[in-house]
Amino acid sequence: MRAGSGGHSTRPMTASEPWLHWHDRLHRQLLQTPTLLPQGTTLLLALSGGQDSMALLGLLRDLQKHHHWTLQLWHGDHGWHPGSAAVADALAQWCDQQALPLRVSRSTAAITGSEAAARAWRYSELSQTAQQLNEAGAAGACTVLTAHTASDRAETLLMQLSRGTDLAGLGSLRQSRPLQANSSHGPRLVRPLLDFTRDETAAICQDLHLPVWHDPSNSDLRIERNRIRQEVLPVLESLHAGCSRRMAWLSERISQVHDSQNALVDLSLRGLQSAGNGLQRPPLQALAADPRRLLLQRWLQQQGVQPLNARQLEELSRAIGPQQPPGERHLAGGQRFHWCRNWVQLDHRG
């Protein structure tokens, strides 16, 4: 057994069912948050074949009998490199040998040629697969799982920080959210490994004797995340060991602060509502610039307005502020933002 994979356990280890420190750690986490992966539900795991998703599969497979889940697997062949189809076939063959149900979706570089396009394609395919499982009578509501780790969260924090972002950006990669980010309906997306690092998922794969398929695109330094992973984080870890996990914890705390802020803003907005689902302007004018901008941003988000950049939001907030005349602005999506002496409203252009 690898050093560090032992330690205190709540169950004995047997030849047929090894109970390692890794199982114990995830098992305890799930017992502490029973709504994360409820017992008896269907779990749809996005399986890339890399060490993170294989580690999560190994742990879920071994914990399945204790939580009574139904496991379903999905793999997306992005067509990014010549060997991607072979990886998908090898992964499917291994899953078949393990009696693990795997569905494979295939794309081409023309469709999934960028990180953003590939992410949108994956989530669309996962959403459709989850819907199919639900329509087929899946046990409980199907929950989609990805194997993002604390290391991924630290990388995302650094990318967002360097690009310039707000609290929502710094607190991204939440443990649980709707799969479709702008919809409260449909399956949830859960990331059970956010307390684990990439070094730990590598150890889990070794300890559980799991195969790993390496994606050559992960070595492409033209991709921003890869450069942070291979060139930035190693330097930070050499200076301050364990910084990846601490940055991941910071991101989680920021997301909690953002949630609390939104709850208070929503409470304030309810007191500002006017006829026609608008906002009373005089109370907004009485606010300092920062809270007025925050309330306006949240209200526009609730109305389904496409996100505005910082400059656009600042301009609107200033325009409805004190000593400013009535006016209007036309926004993307066919909406008109307009204000007079006593109210601020939003409507669709005719």
Higher pLDDT among residues 212 and 5, named by residue: 212
Residue % of the chain over a pLDDT of 70: 92
What pLDDT does 314 receive?
92
Neighbour count for residue 231 (Cβ, 10 Å)? 10
Show the 3-state SS of 74-129: EEEECCCCCCHHHHHHHHHHHHHHCCCCEEEEECCCCCCCCHHHHHHHHHHHHHHH
Q: Give the Cα separation of 331 and 313 in Å (integer).
A: 11
- pLDDT tens sequence across 193-224: 999 999 999 999 999 999 999 887 777 788 88
List, as own/partner pairs, every contact residues 259-265 make where C-beta atoms lie below 8 angstroms and the sequence separation is at least 24, other chains included.
261/167, 261/294, 262/298, 265/294, 265/295, 265/298
Least confident range of 26-40, 70-84, 336-350: 336-350
Domains of the chain in start order, with CATH, are 21-241 (3.40.50.620), 274-348 (3.30.465)
Q: Is residue 30 pLDDT above 90, yes or no?
A: yes
The pTM is what? 0.81
Average per-residue pLDDT for the chain: 88
Give me the half-sphere count of Cα atoms (radius 13 Å) on the Cβ side of residue 4. Answer: 7
Residue 111 contacts residue 171 (beta carbons within 8 Å): no
- pLDDT tens sequence across 251-288: 999 999 989 999 999 999 999 987 667 999 999 999 99
